[in-house]
């Protein structure tokens, strides 16, 4: 079932997005419960499906109506060919991929525990890795031509930084995923306009005592950032947005206290994602500093437990939807529930891509109209 495409507004006018990062062949095995050491168990479901953070996020973006181009690397093996074929079938431009005649394409074993609704990933990186010299300036210029935004998942840091510097010179905004501490990630964050972080990253990166204080610290250390989002699964997300117009008469409040007050306002009876936001004000934390901006608390969909199949790739789906929202000019109070709804849809199928919704999915219509 899908919404009438004629009733939806057209996709964004500028909808070319460029990504650089991980792709993978995912071997997904669903089991009744995670095995103990030396156990022999059977799967309840088994799939071979494309994966990788950048591959998943841009597949999501394509299904939502964007035109993604992906820069990555695979080997000329069966897995690599399968990765490329699946991305192409989903509308992702793979013409900027590097295909190595030797080595191996990246792949991941994913064990999905039906009992706890968790997944365990065992990843084997591709070899040899993508190097900056493999992406000549002519190809890079062609990849960035007409791009509305650039996305990096933190992989291939030297190549990513080469692309990022070219994007900065062309005034193309950059979104960086900060999933975990990685070599070279700091260099990308310094030039990023937007960041989407995992639940653990802000405190790990700043040694902050709380997530809200850590986000404030990140904003002070990364003055180019316009916003930071931290995703927290079923607990929703928090977003800190920097104000471009500093009102001298705006109030001042401790960022932890402000977040607590937003949580008190969060409706506990809503099943669909919502967003609660603060006024623009001076957000502060003792011994850290002050940022003029606004705090947002986004809730997640309250998914009935029987409908949750697999959370693999939920964060990538959130980022794909965020890329769409930025291209479409959505305000944050609309973007966060939209991204949460896309991520929730993806949790209702096995793997990182099987549940990714298309733009005409009726569940998305309220956020697109």
Q: For 4-19, write each residue's pLDDT tens digit.
A: 666 888 999 999 999 9
- Please work out, in degrees rounded to the nearest 5, the angle formed at the alpha carbon of residue 261 by the alpha carbons of 347 and 331: 55
Identify whether the C-beta of residue 153 lies closer than 8 Å to the C-beta of residue 22: yes
The CATH classification number of 5-19+53-104+128-368 equals 3.40.1190.20
Structure tokens at 222: 């990364």
Burial of 189: CB neighbours in 10 Å, binned 0-12, 13-18, 19+: buried
Domain boundaries along the sequence of the chain = 5-19+53-104+128-368
Contacts of 161 (CB under 8 A, 6+ apart): 184, 187, 188
3-class secondary-structure state, position 220: helix
Q: Which helix (H) or strand (E) holds 176?
A: strand 174-178
Structure tokens at 10: 């057209």
CA distance 320 to 337: 13
CB atoms within 10 A of CB 152: 31
pLDDT value, residue 262: 96
Closest CA to 131 of 156, 108, 95, 114: 156
Positions in the chain whose pLDDT score sits under 50:
none
Q: Give per-residue pLDDT as tens, 128-167.
A: 999 999 999 999 999 999 999 999 999 999 999 999 999 9
CA distance 266 to 269: 9
pLDDT value, residue 2: 62
Global pTM?
A: 0.95
Q: What are phi and psi of 163, to 5 degrees?
A: -65, -40
Structure tokens at 252: 């001042």
CA distance 127 to 124: 9
Identify whether the C-beta of residue 55 lies closer than 8 Å to the C-beta of residue 25: no
pLDDT value, residue 3: 61
CA 126 to chain centre: 21
From residue 19, alpha-carbon distances to 144, 152, 192, 227, 274 in Å are 10, 6, 13, 19, 28
């Amino acid at each position: 079932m899908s919404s009438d495409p004629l009733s939806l507004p057209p996709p964004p006018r500028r909808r070319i997005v460029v990504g650089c990062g991980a792709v993978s062949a995912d071997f997904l095995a669903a089991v009744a419960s995670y095995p103990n050491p030396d156990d022999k168990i059977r799967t309840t479901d088994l799939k071979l499906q494309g994966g990788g953070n950048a591959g998943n996020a841009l597949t999501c973006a394509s299904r939502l109506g964007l035109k993604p181009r992906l820069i990555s690397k695979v080997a000329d093996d069966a897995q690599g060919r399968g990765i490329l074929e699946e991305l192409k079938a989903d509308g992702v431009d793979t013409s900027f991929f590097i295909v190595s005649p030797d080595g191996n394409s990246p792949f991941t074993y994913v064990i999905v525990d039906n009992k706890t609704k968790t997944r365990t990933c065992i990843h084997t990186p591709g070899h040899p890795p993508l190097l900056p010299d493999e992406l000549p300036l002519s190809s890079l210029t062609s990849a960035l031509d007409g791009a509305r935004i650039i996305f990096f998942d933190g992989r291939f840091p030297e190549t990513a930084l080469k692309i990022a510097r070219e994007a900065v010179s062309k005034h193309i905004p950059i979104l960086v995923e900060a999933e975990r501490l990685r070599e070279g990630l700091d260099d990308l964050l310094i030039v990023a306009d937007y960041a989407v972080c995992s639940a653990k990253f802000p405190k790990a990166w700043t040694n902050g005592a709380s997530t809200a204080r850590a986000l404030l610290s990140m904003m002070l250390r990364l003055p180019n950032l316009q916003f930071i989002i931290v995703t927290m699964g079923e607990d929703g997300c928090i977003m800190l947005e920097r104000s471009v117009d500093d009102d001298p008469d705006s109030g001042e409040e401790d960022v932890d206290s402000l977040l607590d007050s937003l949580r008190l306002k969060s409706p506990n009876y809503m099943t669909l994602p919502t967003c609660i936001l603060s006024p623009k004000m001076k957000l502060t934390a003792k011994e850290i500093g002050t940022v003029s901006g606004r705090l947002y608390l986004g809730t997640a969909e309250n998914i009935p437990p029987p409908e949750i199949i697999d959370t693999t790739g939920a964060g990538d789906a959130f980022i794909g939807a965020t890329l769409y929202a930025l291209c479409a000019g959505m305000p944050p109070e609309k973007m966060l529930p939209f991204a949460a709804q896309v991520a929730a849809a993806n949790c209702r199928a096995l793997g990182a891509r099987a549940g990714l919704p298309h733009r005409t999915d009726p569940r998305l219509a309220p956020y697109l109209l």
